[in-house]
A and B are shown apart, each in its own frame.
Chain A
Amino acid sequence: MSKEKISSQEIIDLVSSKSLVSKRVAEEFLKVMISSVEEALLSGDLVKIKNLGTFKLQWNEPRKSVNVQTGEEILLSGYHKVTFTPDAVLRDAVNEPFAHLSPVELESENPAPIPESADVDLDPLRIFTDQAAEIKDLISEIQALSPKAKSKSVPKQEMPPVESYDLEEIVVDEALEAPEVQVEVSVEPQKTILHEDVFESVNEKIIVEKPFELVVPNEIENKDVESEVSGLAVNPVPEFESTPFLKDIEPRKRQKVWVWLLSVVLVFVFCSLGLYFFCPPVTRFADDCKASVTSTAESFSFTETLNSISSWFAPIPKPVPVVKTIVIPKDTVDNDTVVIEKKAAVDSLQLLFDNPRIYKRFIATETVEAGNRLTLMAKKYYGNKDFWVYIYEANKSKIPNPDRIAQGTLIRIPKLDSRLIDANNPRCIKKARELHDIYVNN
Chain B
Amino acid sequence: MTTPSLCPDHLLARARTSALADGERGALEAHLEQCGACRAALRTGQAFDRVLGPQPGDDQLATRLWCEVERQVVRRQSRRARTIAAVAAAAVIALLSVTSVAMLRARLGRPSGSVVPAPASAAARGGVPGARAEPPRSPSEPARAVPSQLSDHLPPPEAPAMAPAASESPAPGRASRPSPSKPARVRAAGGDAPPGVRPTDDGEGAGALFSAANVTRRRGETARATEQYRRLVKEYPSSPEALVAHVALGRLLLARAGAGAGALAEFDAYLVAAPTGALAEEALFGRATCLMRLGRDREEGATWRQLVERFPRSVYAERARVRLGELSP
Chain B associates with chain A: no
Question: Residues of A with Cβ closer than 8 Å to B?
Answer: none
Question: Residues of B with Cβ closer than 8 Å to A?
Answer: none
